[in-house]
Structure 1
Amino acid sequence: MLIVILGALTAVAPLSIDMYLPALPELASDLSTGAMQAQLTLTACVVGLAVGQVIAGPLSDALGRRRPLLVGLAAYTVASLLCVMAPNVETFIALRLVQGATGAAGIVIGRAIIRDLYDGVAAAKFFSMLMLVSGLAPILAPVLGGQLMRLTPWPGVFAVLAGIGVALYLAALLLLKETLPPEGRETGGTRATLATFRELAADRAFAGYGLALALSFGAMFTYISGSPFVLQDIYGMSPQAFSIVFGVNSLGIVAAGQASGTLAGRVPLERLLGAGLAIVAVGGVGLPVAVLAGAGLWGVLPALFLMTSGQGLVMPNATALALDDRPPRVAGSASALLGLAQFAIGGAAAPLAGVAGPDTALPMAVTIAVLSIAAVAAAALPGRAPGPPPGKAAPHD
């Protein structure tokens, strides 16, 4: 049950982002704005997710995991309802920022709870198992969004997100126990939090694995932001066909994540991470090659599948390696810094996909390629020998 709850909490980000991807072109038309401003509604949510994690993570170290989580989920529900009533794109962007900031609590606190309970290979196995649950969100969200578009205008998507917020709040309230007892909490206030951030940023292992995770995520988020316009407007896919392609790519992430969980403990986590980054880079570099060669949709889709599938190996192992050996009292802050890097890079990269307008896929392709290569380089920073400690027993929830 713990896996299901934490998976649902960490799915807040893909649900908030992916469910309305098929509606982006309609949203742009309805709010009388262009593709780049429509993509800024994604960026606003991502910036909110980044900032919210920096707030919620340290708060959960000081106050425990439950209280900040419940407040965040309640506020997320209210923000989602307000998005339904947004009268213009400027208001909508501001509300998306708030929605992301409040929804961040589930992501950062979910990771911190895992670190409270597991470390080393056991944590990597749990993160991989978590991807089976949270990985369903990017598969189902655009499909659900595409089907909702048949029944309701785009604001209906946010009414559904508000309902999901209510369900998550009730699940956390009734089923999730506190995992950070008072004696294990951080008591130094803001000064201690800033000192923790400085120590983590100066740690080569944390910085290297964290940057590899963030840059790889940036490549995927560029795809998430740009693909609705590239695949629908340039390559002529319907919202329903787009949602199927998006779901297939997400299924690749889940499959790779499950392979990672099976191999963790037998193959060093660093090697699993390296394999994932290599797959991401091959797909990332192949994307501009396919676009420049004029290979069309059937050249672009395999490259996107490789780039996204590799994330299933990158995410659990980079996260576990970055959080390895961090004491539970700073797990929230460490998780927050990882989240900040991920969503800051993703938010900065996403608008680049639309800089040349709606007629070319090249900006998206080049951005993904550059970030994929940079992620490989970042993973070399730790310079650490393979084989982390086995950690606590692997989860059986």
Structure 2
Amino acid sequence: MLRLTSPAMVGVLAALTALGPLATDMYLPAMPAMAEALNTGPDQVQLTLSLYMAGFALAQLFVGPVSDRFGRKPVMIVGFGLFLLASLLCAFAPSVEWLLAGRFLQALGGAAGPVLGRAAVRDIHGPVEAARVLSYMASTMAMAPALAPVVGAGLLLFFGWASVFLLLSLYAAIMLLILVLLMPEPLPPEHRQSVAPPVILANYRMLLTQRSFIGYTLINASGFAGLFAFLSGSSFVLIEYMGLSPFQYGIGFTLIVAGFFSGTLFSGRYSHRLGRDRLLLLATLMCALAGTIMAGLAIAGVHAPWAVIGPHILFLVGFGIVMPQSMAGALAPNPQCAGSASSLFGFLQMTIAALGGALVGQFHDGTSRTMAIAIGLAGVLSLLAFIGLVRSSAPVKGTPADYRQG
């Protein structure tokens, strides 16, 4: 068994949490080919992404509270088992309806990884150290979305789109073995809670009255909505409209994820020195600036790959800082129900993102304009959430005391 505080355990938690980005990013280059193979339109294929996020959001409301009662490990085992079976269903789907069903089941199982990975970090490392550990976890996780589109493009080229889901099945099987054989249970027995509906609802009601929880959650959800708008529309904008090959798209996506990787490293390095809220002020300003630039270029009629990829690199640098700091801020004051807090955090994050992605698909006009405007609005909303809900509730500080706010 691994030691809970070992670097290897951080790597395992990062790998478990990476299931989310792998399940969304790896098949992005294949979306146009899937539409053609399944004899359907881009809107139906984009729906597989939005439906996944909606199912992911719904499942998160349950996996966290259940894990607060039975522990993180058994719930993750069940979740990864379901994800494995659902990935096989997607791989052999004869129609888009079967693919949609498989993606929804994938979401129900896959939610266990990110939700319980975050909760386990809070269980093991406490409120102060959790932000730094989450930052370095995010740096490790950044390898998943960086490599996933390139791997997906290669699989598409040589083996067809179904091979993407077969590889996801293999990943889930490996994670299941690690969970069963190597991972100890991170939740102490004395922290277990009831799964009675009144207790779960009371926890959610308590969280929704915390100004800091709502503020940090909306900062993250707005930034994630900008990322998801890109995930939902970028393959059609960059491949179909701007003429990039799937491989070129994968390279561009890797550059964008490099921005996210840089942001997470910066977040981990300066967590204690600058404090959570100063980092979030810097990051939300970057997201708002990058989104505004992308939207302005699109509205001005500049429809070129650099006008999308360049600003989105800056957006992802900001979001790389936002993600771990906002997660830690939302979970910090709630050790007694970290699973429920992580669930509600993820539910709001995914619901807002799924709605944004659905709107991008619905109003896609064949150019980059709809996607760019959505990303611009997301960046501005992230900044407004920080100013209106987090910064207004307490002065910005530059010390580790920031981590005890809320």
TM-score by length of 2: 0.93
Q: Which residue of 2 aligns with 1:311?
A: 319
Matched-pair contact (CA < 8 Å) for 2:14–2:138: yes
The reply to whether residue 372 of structure 1 matches residue 379 of structure 2 is yes
Provide the rounded CA distance (Å) in 2 between the counterparts of 1:184 and 1:120.
15
1:11 aligned to 2:14?
A: no
Amino acid at match of 1:167: I
**1:150 and 1:365 mapped to 2: Cα distance?**
29
Q: Which residue of 1 aligns with 2:394?
A: 384
Please point out which of 50, 61, 82 is paired with 1:54. Answer: 61
Partner of 2:94: helix, strand, or coil?
coil
Q: Is the 8 A contact 1:121 1:388 kept in 2?
A: yes
Distance 1:188 1:304 in 2: 41
What are the Cα deviations for residues 250-309 of structure 1, in whole angstroms up to 9, with x where unaligned? 011011101110001110110101111111111111111111222222222211111122
Which of 231, 234, 250 in structure 1 is aligned with 2:257?
250
Residue type at the aligned position of 2:26 = M
Residue 88 of structure 2, aligned match among 81, 88, 94: 81
* Cα offset, 1:147, TM superposition: 0.7
1: CA distance, partners of 2:136 / 2:308: 29
Amino acid at match of 2:312: L
Alpha carbons of structure 1 residues 223 and 234: separation in structure 2 relative to 1, 3 Å: same
1:107 aligned residue: 114
Give the corresponding residue for 1:162: 169
Secondary structure at the counterpart of residue 86 of structure 1: coil
Alpha-carbon distance between aligned partners in 2 of 1:188 and 1:302, rounded to the nearest angstrom:
47
| C-alpha distance in 2 between matches for 1:78 and 1:253 | 31
CA gap of 1:170–1:390, structure 2 versus 1, over 3 A, is farther
Deviation sequence 1:187-243 (CA, Å, 0-9, x none): 252211111011101100000110111111011111111100011111110000000
Give 1:323's match in structure 2, choosing from 311, 324, 331: 331
Partner Cα separation in structure 1 for residue 49 and residue 403 of structure 2: 37
Compute the RMSD of aligned alpha carbons: 1.5
Q: Which residue of 2 aligns with 1:354?
A: 361
Alpha-carbon offset, residue 121 of structure 1: 3.2
Secondary structure of the structure 1 residue equivalent to 2:274: coil
Assess if the C-alpha contact under 8 Å between 1:84 and 1:156 holds in 2: yes
User: SS of 1:379's equivalent?
Assistant: helix
Contact 1:219–1:346 (Cα < 8 Å) also in 2: yes
1:16-27 alignment, distance < 5 Å: 16-27=23-34
- Report whether the alignment pairs 1:182 with 2:185: no
Task: Give the deviation of 1:155 after TM superposition.
Answer: 0.9
Identity score, percent: 37
Q: Output the amino acid matched with 1:122.
A: E
State the TM-score, normalized to the length of structure 1. 0.96
Deviation per CA, 1:66-101, whole angstroms, max 9, x where unpaired? 111111111110110111121111221121011011
Distance in 2, Cα, partners of 1:378 & 1:391: 18
Q: Counterpart of 2:133 in structure 1: which amino acid?
A: F
Aligned to 1:207: 214
Which residue identity lines up with residue 325 of structure 2 in the other structure? N
Number of residue pairs aligned between Structure 1 and Structure 2? 391
Are 2:40 and 1:30 equivalent residues in the alignment?
no
Runs (5+) with no aligned partner, structure 1: 393-397
AA aligned opposite 1:237:
L
Matches of 1:309 and 1:91, distance apart in 2: 37
For each residue in 1:93-125, what CA deviation from the matched residue of structure 2 results, as whole angstroms up to 9, or x when unmatched? 121011011010011010010010123331110
